Amino acid sequence: MFGKLFKKTDYKKLLNEDGAVIIDVRSPSEFAGGSVAGSENIPLGSIPGQTKKIKSLGVPVICVCASGMRSGGAKTQLKVAGVEAYNGGPWTKMLPYVD
């Protein structure tokens, strides 16, 4: 019963095998202060206008921010639009998974 509830996401597989992209939903100034190499900065408020472009990528999307709150909102918006999206939480959590 709890196995699915607490299922751990395999970010390494998503990035290295499934071709996932990381979208950092923080503000441009936060992003400029440090980010995951290769990630794209699309602030949370811009997600609705970028959904079509993101969906056209055809790969899973890992959303990140400073704490996981904004990335959770972005994940929800993208999932509703039909994108395979994950909440990666704080951007620093992704650093070990990126080569």
Residue 76: its pLDDT value, please? 97
Count: domains in the chain = 1
Distances, alpha carbon 71 to alpha carbons 3, 17, 29, 85, in Å: 23, 22, 16, 10
| pLDDT (mean) for 70-90 | 97
Domain membership of residue 62 as a residue range: 11-91
Tell me whether residue 59 is in a domain. yes
For 11-54, how does the pLDDT look when each residue is reduced to its tens digit (9 = 90+)? 999 999 999 999 999 999 999 999 999 999 999 999 999 999 99
Tell me whether residue 42 is in a domain. yes
For 68-79, how does the pLDDT look when each residue is reduced to its tens digit (9 = 90+)? 999 999 999 999
pLDDT reading at 5 higher than 90: no
